Chain A
C-alpha cells in the first residue's frame, strides 16, 4: 500500500517552454501533497505544500507564478514549471500523506533537463 507515482520520470525541454509533472497516490487518498526540488548532491528542499481543493502554500523564495501547483482531487496533484530555464533543471519529487501528522510517501521523482 501507500504507493505514489510520478509522470513523467524524466523530461527534456527547450528553454521557454512549460512542463507539467503529475503526482498520483495510487491506493490512498492524499489530503496533503508536497513538492520538493533536489539539485545534484544536495538535500531535498520543500517548494510547496498543497491541500486538496485549496491553494498551495509556497516556501520562501519559490515563485508561485513560475511553479504552478494544482491539487484538484484527493489522488492527483500537478506541478507546472512555466517558461522553464536551464537553472530550473533539477530532480522534482512529490510526496503525499493521508492525514495530519502521518507519514509522507514519496514518488519516484521526475528529472527535468532544460536545454
Chain B
C-alpha cells in the first residue's frame, strides 16, 4: 500500500519562504508530484520529481530524496494568492492502469499580510 505524510496546516506572511514536507511509504514509486488546490477548485499540477534533487519553476521548487522517501515543496516570495491546499502525490503504475496517483492528506497554507 501507499501512505504519505504531510503537515495539515502552515501559516506564513507575505514575502516569506515556506517549505512543505512530504514523507512516503510506498510499494512502488515512479516519482513525486505536487498539486495546488484552491477552495472549491480542482487540483492544478505544480511539479514532478522522478530523480533526486531540486526542480525549480519560478517561485516554486520541489525536492526529492528517494533514499530517504522524502520530498518537499518550497514556495518563495509568498503572495496572498498562494493561500491554498497543497498535496504531494506518489506516482506509480499499477494494474496496467498507467499513471496512478496516491495523494497525501494535504497541507493548508494560509498567507497573512
Q: A residues near B, CB below 8 A? A: 31-32, 34, 41-46, 49, 51, 57, 93, 95, 97, 99-109, 111
B21: min CB distance to chain A, Å: 16
Q: B residues near A, CB below 8 A? A: 30, 40-45, 48, 87, 91, 93, 95-106, 108
Verify A97–B99 contact, CB threshold 8 A: yes
Q: Given the complex of chains A and B, what is the CA–CA distance between A97 and B105 in angstroms?
A: 23
Number of A-B contacts (CB under 8 A): 63
Q: Given the complex of chains A and B, what is the CA–CA distance between A1 and B99 in angstroms?
A: 19
17 residue pairs of the A-B complex, CB under 8 angstroms, read: A32-B97, A44-B103, A49-B95, A49-B97, A51-B97, A57-B95, A99-B98, A100-B93, A101-B30, A101-B93, A101-B98, A105-B45, A106-B42, A106-B44, A107-B42, A108-B42, A109-B42
